[in-house]
Amino acid sequence: MPQKIKIVILFITFLYISALVSTANGQKKRNLNNYIKGPTFSYMWSLSEKEEEELRQYIWDTWNKKQQVYFYFSFVTREGTENISVYYFEKDKNNSWRIVRKFEKGQCSYISKKACQKYFAREDIYDKVEKVQDKNRYSIVLSNSSSKNKEKIEF
């Protein structure tokens, strides 16, 4: 096989493998230059009512504006463990809006290092945002309408 053909085949193989790696676990490689950087919500132990309201309002407003935004949510437990998640407001491949939560750092409750790596590599996808009124306050509930795992996040 001529040398030029080998180089072309190696190059194409490299591009293919790169594409697979960048989309592992259904994740896409994001160019954050295409996103608006939102605030960082950082809390110790628990959120005050005012902090909860600011976070709920930010999520609700951002969802309704339909802009590509990302923000960090950092929470420190009573034991001193920092947990960091990034929330991306973006369109999926079908041009539908969604929120993707990606874990950046935190405490993993699994014994196996491999299980912890898988836990932190995952992304949770939410395509439904609801404002739920309850007596004197409201909650923001994120859910995935097509997921078998009907996990919800409530703020």
* DSSP one-letter string for 103-128: EEE-----SSHHHHHHHHH-EEEE-E
Q: Confidence band (pLDDT; 50, 70, 90) for 149?
A: low
pTM: 0.72
- Tens-place pLDDT, residues 70-122: 999 998 877 777 888 999 999 999 999 999 999 887 766 666 777 777 767 77
Residue with tokens 């295409």: 34
- CA 100/CA 86 separation, integer angstroms: 8
Ramachandran quadrant class, 60 (left: phi over 0; alpha: psi -120 to 50; beta: rest): alpha
- Tens-place pLDDT, residues 1-51: 554 443 333 333 333 333 333 334 445 678 999 999 999 998 887 778 888
Q: Which helix (H) or strand (E) holds 43?
A: strand 36-44
Burial of 63 (0-12, 13-18, 19+ CB in 10 A): buried
